[in-house]
A = this chain, B = another copy of it.
Amino acid sequence: MPIVELHLLEGYDKIQKQRLSVALTSAVRFVVPAAPDLVTVLIHETPAQDYYRGGVPRKPAPARADPEQTVRSFLDEMAVRALEKAQARLAPGFVMNFPGAKPMHALQELIEWAAPRYRFVTKTYEGFDALQGAGDAAIVYCRGTLSGEWPDGTPFGDIRFIDRFEIVDDLITRQDVWNDIAETKAQA
């Protein structure tokens, strides 16, 4: 105990079902202090011809992409300046909020804004947290440290950061960024 039985329309693959099992296990453990091993998840896939609402069969909706994976890919693409690929992950109306910056909507805008601030920056990840929000957006948090070079070539490192992403229909709609860059500069 606890045992979770999930009835799904047939059509989800092994990885999607594993993601479901992990999310359901966490959902239970969020309230019930059971060791993970004691949380059983059973997935029952129902062929479309065996499921009816109002006597009418229904089609399964394709699974969402893994939002954490979407964010990881986006960050990787930004790291190597694969801007076109990164851009393809953004929803119309996408907005980025960086420390001390006005809301930005285009990746090029971000690159221009960053140019006078550091020559380059690299993210080292400490952890990701991902969850479905109450509304349509999935939320992905990513935190760790930044290292790179200031405009004058001085190296920096170990600067804490956290990013928060909202993903709707597999596209990133919003990115909020916090970090200790200003604090570090102030202390320097």
Contacts and interface: CB of A to CB of B under 8 A. Distances in A.
A52 B178 contact: no
Contact of A40 (B3, B44, B97): B3
A5 B5 contact: yes
Interface in A64-103: 64, 67, 97, 99-100
Most B-side CB within 10 Å, residue of A25, A27, A41, A185: A27
A51 B42 contact: yes
Nearest to A13: B49
A9 interface: yes
Contacts of A50: 17, 42-45
A32 to B, nearest CB: 6
A121 interface: no
Nearest to A48: B14
Contact of A34 (B30, B61, B130): B61
A181 B183 CA distance: 8
A160 to B, nearest CB: 7
Contacts of A141: 129, 141, 164
A144 B83 CA distance: 30
Given A19-B31, A64-B30, A25 B52 contact: yes
A37 to B, nearest CB: 5
B49 A14 contact: yes
Given A23-B27, A99-B183, 13 more contacts: A7-B42, A12-B32, A17-B49, A20-B28, A22-B134, A23-B28, A26-B131, A36-B54, A41-B51, A100-B186, A129-B139, A141-B141, A180-B182
